[in-house]
Amino acid sequence: MQISEREAQILRIRTTSFQPELSAGLELKLRQAVVGVTKATLESALVEELAAERSRQNGRLGRRSGYFSRVLDTEHGRIESLRVPKLRSGNKARQWQILQRYHRGLGSLLNFTLSLYVMGLSLRDLQEALYHLLGSVLSVSAINRVTIEAQIHMDSHRQAKLTKTPPILIVDGVWVDIQYPSVETKVDRAGHVRQIRQAQERVVLTALAVWPDGTYETLHYEIAKQEDIQGWEAFFEHLIERGLDPSAVELVVSDGTLGLPAAMAKWLPRAKQQRCITHKVRRIKDYLSYAQLPGQDEQGQPLSVSKAKQQRCYQIQNDAYDIYKAEDASEAKQRLATFVEKWQPIEPKAVQTFKRNIELTFSFYQFNKLLHPRIRTSNLLERLFEEFRRKSDEIGAFPNEQSCLTVFFLVVQRDHAKHDRSSMAKN
Confidence category of residue 107, pLDDT binned at 50, 70, 90? very low
Residue 117's contacts (CB-CB under 8 Å, 6 or more residues apart) are 123, 126, 143, 146
Q: Are 257 and 235 in contact (CB under 8 A)?
A: no
Tell me the pLDDT tens digit for each residue of 380-403. Answer: 999 999 989 988 887 788 888 888
Report the pLDDT averaged over residues 413-427. Answer: 57
Residue 42 scores a pLDDT above 50: yes
Q: Is the pLDDT of residue 139 over 70?
A: no
Percentage, residues of the chain above pLDDT 90: 45
Residue type at position 372: H
* Identity of the residue numbered 338: T
Q: How far apart are CA 320 and CA 288, in angstroms?
A: 14
CB 312 within 8 Å of CB 289: no
Is 85 in contact with 45 (CB distance < 8 Å)?
no
> What pLDDT, on the 0 to 100 scale, is given for residue 17?
53
> What is the bridge-based pairing of β-strands 272-275 and 251-254?
parallel
The answer to whether the pTM exceeds 0.75 is: no
Question: What distance in Å separates the CA atoms of residue 274 and residue 366, rounded to the nearest whole number?
Answer: 11
Q: Please check the confidence at residue 110 and state whether its pLDDT lies above 50.
A: no
Q: What is the pLDDT of residue 12?
A: 64
- Which pLDDT belongs to residue 106? 46
- The model's confidence at residue 296, banded by pLDDT at 50, 70 and 90, is confident
Residues paired with 218 in a beta bridge = 208
Q: Which amino acid is at 424?
A: M
- Distances in Å between the Cα of 139 and the Cα atoms of 22, 75, 125, 127 are 21, 20, 13, 8
Do 172 and 206 touch, CB atoms closer than 8 A? yes
Whether residue 29 has pLDDT greater than 70? no
The pLDDT value given to residue 152: 74
d(CA 115, CA 122): 12
- On whether the CB atoms of residues 253 and 378 are closer than 8 A, the answer is yes
55 pLDDT more than 50: yes
pLDDT at 350: 96
Least confident range from 195-204, 263-272, 312-321, 388-397: namely 388-397
Q: Which helix (H) or strand (E) holds 65?
A: strand 64-74
At 245, is the pLDDT very low, low, confident or very high (cuts 50, 70, 90)? very high
Alpha helices in 123-201 (DSSP H): 123-134, 140-159
pLDDT at 299: 80
Distance CA 257, CA 382 (A): 14
Q: What was the pLDDT predicted at 234?
A: 97
Supply the pLDDT for residue 142: 53
- Does an H or E element contain 348, and which? helix 348-355
> Per residue in 166-177, pLDDT tens?
999 999 999 999
Is residue 236 a contact partner of residue 267, using CB atoms and an 8 Å limit? yes
Distance CA 131, CA 129 (A): 5
pLDDT reading at 421 higher than 80: no
Q: DSSP string spanning 181-230?
A: EEEEEEE-TTS-EEEEEEEEEEEEEEEEEE-TTS-EEEEEEEEES-SSHH
The answer to whether 170 and 380 have CB atoms below 8 angstroms apart is yes
Largest Cα span, the chain: 100
Over residues 119-131, mean pLDDT: 60
54 versus 231: the higher-pLDDT residue is: 231
Average pLDDT over residues 131-142: 55
- Of 63 and 199, the one with more pLDDT: 199
Q: One-letter amino acid identity for 137?
A: V
Instruction: Please enumerate in sequence order all residues whose Cβ is within 8 A of that of 285, keeping only pairs 6 or more positions apart, or say none.
Output: 313, 317
| pLDDT above 60 (res 209) | yes
